[in-house]
Amino acid sequence: MSETQLQAARAGKITPAMEQVAAQEGQDAGSIRELVAQGKIAIPANPGHTSLAPRGVGQGLSVKVNANLGSSPDRCDPVEEAEKLAAALEAGADAVMDLSTGGDLTAMRRQVLNLSPVPVGTVPIYQAAVEVTAEGRGIIDITAEDLFRVIEQQAAEGVDFMTVHCGVTRAAVEHLRSEGRITDVVSRGGSFLTCWMLANEQENPLYEQYDRLLDICQKHDVTLSLGDGLRPGCLADATDRAQVSELITLGALTQRAWDAGVQVMIEGPGHVPLDQVQANVVLQKRLCHGAPFYVLGPLVTDIAAGHDHVACAIGGALAAWAGADFLCYVTPSEHLALPGPNDVYEGVITTRIAAHAADIARGNQAAIARDRAMAQARKAMDWDAMFELCLDPKTAKAMRAGSPPGEEEVCTMCGKYCAMKLVNEHLHGKD
């Protein structure tokens, strides 16, 4: 049986993936190995994903951005899914997740794995639910064998990380019931398991058979992304007993995964008031032993429909500054429709802005140097350098081309009254 990144790190070995992450981050490979060994950095890198260029997530690394892709029962075009993946990669996503629930799910996932050089994640219970309903059964009829067969299949195909809602236990559901939430459960996987447990009066098989899950993940070096199935779906539900009880369980499951040589990330809440974001990050890091934290947003208001990517970026910047390691994007169509390629591109760029702002606040020297270089390029009126340095050169170039100035070195905002041009001329004597 092959070693996982975690097992190799604990044995004192520096793997090629660790060397690649170190080169990307401008760090020493030995330091990366040490933090992988401690579980504070995860490198999702299934050996079966042959097109992968690994990325690291966790302590001391740049904040990473994930883009969710995937079809739905109402919209399942493989061509569009390939376009969405291309848009995510062009915009600079560090990872993608295939959340398809419509069409040929295996073909969709294999397409993403073949085309993606970044880590690919899934939520296996989606495929299990689609398959049982296609057979005329209901979601409450999913069996443990249905679920673990899908997990084994996806792991063998090369999926790098999997969201599994192991902390949605019967006890957590009782906390949910007594809490009196407004939005109850908004996680799709969390809702499947909640309904299954209520209907069958049995424990969550992902929790009850956790060792079986660990065996599969260790065999294929799949990183567990321990999902927040009871994440709040509105500000009023944030940081309640249901959410925190699940997080406590995930902390215990993190230690068990590490003991089995399996890498772990912890998923965090979706809707959180601005004043609770930092507390949520501190709580996760404490309860889950410093494991990498992967947050959806968080969205800091419930009323930004059509602009939820902005609400996400505000919360994401604060969460990452407080210690979150991995930001899951939100697109402008969140809560409204399945995103298309343009939504994907805009969502990734907006979340990358949040990640970069957090990197600066966290003292990342490469991020700080990039902003300083941009300031110098602006002072020099060097448009080529400005386009090269900005996070979205394509949009920046198109905006400038669409409104050409009368004088080449300025833009049409100020024209000949450009403050920087005037001061360059009179303070520094530059023509």
* 97 annotated among ligand-binding-site residues: yes
Q: Residue 317 corresponds to which amino acid? A: A
- Report the alpha-carbon distance of residue 295 to residue 142 in Å, rounded: 28
Whether 289 has a binding-site annotation, put simply, is no
> For the chain, what is the radius of gyration of the CA atoms?
23
Please state whether beta strands 293-296 and 223-226 pair in parallel, antiparallel, or not at all (unpaired): unpaired
- Residue 271 annotated as binding site: yes
Q: Is 237 helix (H, G, I), strand (E, B) or coil?
A: helix
d(CA 199, CA 382): 64
How far is 27 from 62, CA to CA, in rounded Å? 11
Burial category of 165 from C-beta neighbours within 10 Å (exposed 0-12, middle 13-18, buried 19 and up): buried
Does 231 count as an annotated binding residue?
Answer: yes
State yes or no: 259 annotated in a binding site. no
Q: Is 227 one of the annotated binding-site residues?
A: no
User: Is 68 assigned a ligand-binding role in the annotation?
Assistant: yes
Q: Dihedrals φ, ψ of 152, to 5°?
A: -65, -40
Do the beta carbons of residue 362 and residue 323 sit within 8 Å?
A: no
Contact call for residues 63 and 324 (beta carbons, < 8 A): yes
Per-position b or e across 260-290, b if 16+ CB within 10 A of its CB: bbbbbbbbbbbbbbeebbbebbebbbebbbb
Lookup: tokens for 165? 């809602």
Rounded Cα distance between 193 and 156, Å, is 24
Q: Does residue 267 have a known ligand-binding role?
A: yes
Q: What is the DSSP string of 175-195?
A: HHHHHT-SS----HHHHHHHH
On whether 189 is known to bind a ligand per the annotation, the reply is: yes
Residues in contact with 68: Cβ distance below 8 Å, sequence separation at least 6, in sequence order:
96, 97, 99, 328, 329
The answer to whether residues 97 and 123 touch, using CB atoms and an 8 Å cutoff, is: yes
CA distance 65 to 93: 6
Is 200 annotated for ligand binding? Answer: no
Map residue 274 onto helix, strand or coil.
helix
Q: Which position has the token pair 């397409």?
A: 111
Question: Would you say 335 is a known binding-site residue?
Answer: yes
| 363 has binding-site annotation | no
210 is in an annotated binding site: no
Residue 288 annotated as part of some ligand binding site: no
Q: Annotated binding site for substrate: which residue ranges?
A: 68, 97, 126, 165, 187-189, 228-231, 267, 294
- Would you list which residues are annotated within the binding site for [4Fe-4S] cluster? 411, 414, 418
Annotated binding site for Zn(2+): 271, 335
Output the known binding site: 68, 97, 126, 165, 187-189, 228-231, 267, 271, 294, 335, 411, 414, 418
